Structure formats: C-alpha cells, structure tokens
Amino acid sequence: MTKAIDYSLYLVTDSDLMSTETLEEAVEQAILGGVTLVQLREKTASSKVFLDTARRVKKVTSQYGVPLLINDRVDIALAINAEGVHIGQDDLPLADVRRLIGADKLIGVSARNLAEAQAACKAGADYLGVGAMYATDTKTDAQLVSLAELAEIRAAINLPIVVIGGINKASILDFKAMGIDGFAVVSAIMGQTEIKKAANELKGLVEKC
C-alpha cells in the first residue's frame, strides 16, 4: 500500500451495538468525530447482507477519504474495491490473501504474541492488530495480551501496531509513550448514543499518546 495510512483512531463496526438506525449513519458520525480508518466486521451477517452493507459503507468512507478494510472476507473486499482486509490467525494465509487482493491493497493481521507478530511481519503484513488487551463483550473468547507482551512486540516489530480489545476512554492512556500507532475501538464508539462526540473525545485522548 503506497498511500500513507493514519491508524490512530480505528473503528471496528458491530451492527448489534449501534445506536443509529443504519450502519452507514454510525460510520459517518464516527468519521465526523475523528475516526481515521474503518474495519467492517459483521460476523453474523450472510454473504449477501455483508456485501450490501459493505457497498453502502464504502460510499460513506469514500466520500470522506477514509480507508475501508473488510474483516476476513477477501471476496467482499474485492467486490467493493475496499482499501484492504484484516485477517485473523484462523483465516486464509497471508500469502494467499496477497495473491488474491494484489500488491497495492492493505493487509492487517491479528497477533496475540511475539511469534505471531514476527510470522505476520515476515509474510508481508502491512500492519498488526494486537490484542485483546482487555476483556471485552464483543469477543468473549479472546486471548488477552499483557502490556509487557505488547512492549516486547513493539520492540521487535517495525510495522504499525494497532491495539484492540477493551479500548475506551479509561484505557487509552495505559498505552502512553509505548509507540502504538493506532487504537481499534468497537463499543466505545458504536454503542454510544452520541457517536460523533464519543469519537471526538477518544481522538483527543489518542493524540496524548
């Protein structure tokens, strides 16, 4: 990916949490509040619903010049010409995703420890999503990563690192001066009544890190 990416406030969607009538409205409000990158993650949606939703959300992100990443689904990312995909440890191997999606698209990889981070780096990931940092209702089976483990990954890996899992106004400053590139937020934006305000408040805290 040749374009410089701002990972600082990274929205991960969840339709089950949203306070708005539509997902695209929630995404727009989040962007207006300061979100710099959007990952569309709709775990329970059918392929058709996911595709239709992705098309609507892509119109919004394109309007504001914010990159859109698709969680797991390379086919949907290609169908809507998203800026990239984010894959987990149990998804398609990164090398295969790269062959499918092309050299100019962004690929993020979830990592829970140094070994996974190093493997993703070696395979050609563009950035890492490290976590879960804290317990979260949105991913109840997540393996937690300690701040010490995060520091170890940061010291060893040159790629941009986005932390995820329980990231909110109370926890963001835990990462101050750790050299973290971005903060992936789900419920602390999606589940708030005033999404734009919530995003803006988080943006202010992110800038202090």
Q: 76 near 46, Cβ under 8 Å?
A: no
Q: With left for phi above 0 and alpha for psi between -120 and 50, is residue 173 left, alpha or beta?
A: alpha
Q: Which helix (H) or strand (E) holds 3?
A: none
Q: Which helix (H) or strand (E) holds 69?
A: strand 68-71
Rounded distance between C-alpha atoms, residue 128 and residue 130, angstroms: 6
Of 188, 184, 137, 191, nearest in space to 18 by CA: 191
Clarify whether 15 is annotated catalytic.
Answer: no
- Containing 136, the helix (H) or strand (E) segment is none
Strand partners, 84: 69, 106
Active site (annotated) includes residue 139 = yes
Angle at 7 between CA 157 and CA 136, to 5 degrees: 85
Examine residue 132 and say whether the peptide bond preceding it is cis (omega within 30 degrees of 0).
yes
- Residue among 58, 98, 105, 139 flagged as catalytic: 139
- Reply yes or no on whether 112 is catalytic: no
- Which one of the listed residues 110, 112, 187, 196 is annotated catalytic? 110
CB 68 within 8 A of CB 83: yes
The residue annotated as part of the active site, out of 15, 41, 58, 73, is 41
Q: Which residues are catalytic?
A: 41, 110, 139
